[in-house]
Amino acid sequence: MAVVANKRSVMTLYTSPSDINGHQVRIVLAEKGVAVDYVLVKRDDALETLAELNPYGTLPTLVDRDLVLFNTQVIMEYLDERFPHPPLLPIYPVARARARLMMCRIEKEWYRYANIILSDASSPEEVEQAREELTQSLLAVAKAFGESSYFLNDDFSLIDCMVVPLLWRLEKMKISLSSPKAKPIHAYMKKMFERESFLASLTEKEHELRA
């Protein structure tokens, strides 16, 4: 796990070695160049480990001095406001609202399918259905991956911080996106997977997902 050091105050992020939500936050931290201590917690141990910090025992959990945050989107937006350069949300209210709405849709749709696929508690039938739904949902917007420099934006944004961890796990989820329609997605993936902040965000276990 790469830790970026600079002169800013050190934060602590509790995250599991392969947590898809924690991965989103780690990309933001790397993109901002924030000094951070990573505490890797096994998901089964999170409730006990975080008992005094987070009543829900959920990951990721961010500690910044006396502030404790434990909702992924809240954490990412806090970091974007706390460290405004480079900005990861649009400046203007309408564009910012649209970005937040897209993040909400990604959470409710793509991440819902991904969580079913990656959960040990899901039945084979549930996994197969979620895999098909996620595949078709990605292909339905495949063209959008090639229309801007980044996903739906000319600048790297929090939307990318959400999308890239999910795409990195496609092989683990046994989703190949072999359709010709997926060409813009594969080009986007290649570009994002080579990005410095993304490489810095990976844990050793995440590296192994596409070894």
Q: What is the pLDDT of residues 3-44, one digit of tens each?
A: 343 444 589 999 999 899 999 999 999 999 998 999 988 877
pLDDT (0 to 100) of residue 99? 95
Can you tell me whether residue 4 is helix, strand or coil?
A: coil
Look up the pTM and report it. 0.91
pLDDT tens sequence across 66-103: 999 999 999 999 999 999 999 999 999 999 999 999 99
Pick among 3.40.50.300, 3.40.50.10210, 1.20.1050.10, 3.40.50.1000: CATH of 93-195? 1.20.1050.10
Q: Which of 84, 53, 87 is nearest to 67 (CA)?
A: 53
Using an 8 Å Cβ cutoff, are 60 and 15 in contact? yes
CA distance 30 to 32: 5
Q: What is the 3-state secondary structure (H, E, C) of 106-138?
A: HHHCHHHHHHHHHCCCCCHHHHHHHHHHHHHHH
Looking at the chain, the whole-number percentage of residues with pLDDT higher than 70 is: 95
